[in-house]
């Protein structure tokens, strides 16, 4: 749910700091999508959770929103592959000291390494390439609505792999999320072309008497 605050932060950053108009349709779609996220996970949240974790999740959503706007404005001409590779290499360099400091005494199994490499290659590297390509073509607001789908797929994989039950609340929340994404990404109706006034053709010359 906290990850799904990214589109809302993106809209606020765009309006308050970049003077980007949001529009009534996209604003409605963002609110509908977030309502669906709240409905989807309403049975799995509880008050009194770790405030540090909640703050970190909200800060991550804000930073995702800022980075999307920055990428759209400053790196519009760069290749999605180059942006994805640069961001992942920078993240790996920054996290390497922490990884070495917290290195486990017992090395993970080969299966665990394979899962980690698969997640890193497909769910992170390839996903970022697709996201930056979408960001360049569809804009920041539309691109960030993909985070609304994270709880939907989380519930789907929970049903497929963990035998978690599919409830009516889950189905209704997923439907509301998809409705919000549809509202945001729906192309506006084209405006009818204004009639253009054609100048009257010159009358043919009268024959000489």
pLDDT in tens, 63-114: 888 888 888 888 877 888 888 888 889 989 999 999 999 988 888 899 999 9
Residue whose pair of structure tokens reads 């992170």 in the numeric block: 124
Per-residue pLDDT reduced to its tens digit, 161-172: 888 887 887 788
CA angle 39, 44, 45 (to 5 degrees): 85
- Answer yes or no: is pLDDT of 156 > 80: yes
Is 174 in contact with 155 (CB distance < 8 Å)? yes
Q: What is the pLDDT of residue 96?
A: 94
Instruction: Quick: pLDDT tens for 134-154.
Output: 888 877 777 777 877 777 788
pLDDT of residue 204 exceeding 80, the answer is no
Note the helical H segments in 17-148: 24-40, 51-74, 80-101, 110-118, 127-138, 140-144
- Give the model confidence (pLDDT) of 41-71 as tens digits: 776 655 555 667 777 877 888 888 888 888 8
SS3 category, 208: coil
In angstroms, rounded to a whole number, what is the distance separating the alpha carbons of residues 130 and 29?
Answer: 22
Mean pLDDT of the chain: 78
User: Contact 184/142 with Cβ under 8 angstroms?
Assistant: yes
φ/ψ of 184, rounded to 5, equals -65, -40
Q: Where are the domains of the chain?
A: 3-185
**Interacting residues of 133 by C-beta distance below 8 A, sequence separation 6+:** 80
Task: Give how far Cα 117 sits from Cα of 92, 110, 129, Å.
Answer: 13, 10, 17
Q: Which two tokens stand for residue 134?
A: 């979408």
């Amino acid at each position: 749910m906290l990850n799904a605050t990214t589109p809302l932060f993106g809209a606020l950053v765009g309006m308050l700091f970049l003077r980007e108009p949001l529009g009534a349709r996209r604003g409605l779609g963002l609110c509908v999508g977030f309502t669906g996220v709240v409905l989807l996970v309403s049975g799995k949240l509880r008050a009194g959770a770790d405030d540090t974790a909640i703050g970190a999740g909200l800060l991550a959503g804000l930073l995702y929103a800022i980075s999307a706007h920055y990428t759209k404005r400053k790196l519009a001409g760069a290749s999605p592959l180059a942006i994805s590779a640069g961001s992942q290499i920078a993240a790996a360099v920054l996290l390497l000291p922490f990884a070495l400091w917290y290195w486990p005494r017992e090395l993970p199994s080969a299966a665990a390494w394979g899962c980690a490499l698969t997640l890193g290659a497909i769910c992170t590297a390839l996903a970022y390439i697709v996201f930056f390509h979408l960001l360049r073509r569809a804009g920041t607001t539309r691109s960030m609505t993909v985070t609304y789908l994270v709880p939907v797929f989380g519930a789907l994989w929970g049903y497929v792999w963990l035998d978690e039950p599919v409830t009516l609340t889950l189905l209704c929340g997923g439907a509301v999320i998809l409705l919000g994404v549809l509202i945001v990404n729906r192309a506006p109706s084209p405006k009818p072309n204004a009639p253009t006034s054609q100048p009257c053709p010159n009358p043919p010359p009268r024959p000489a008497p």
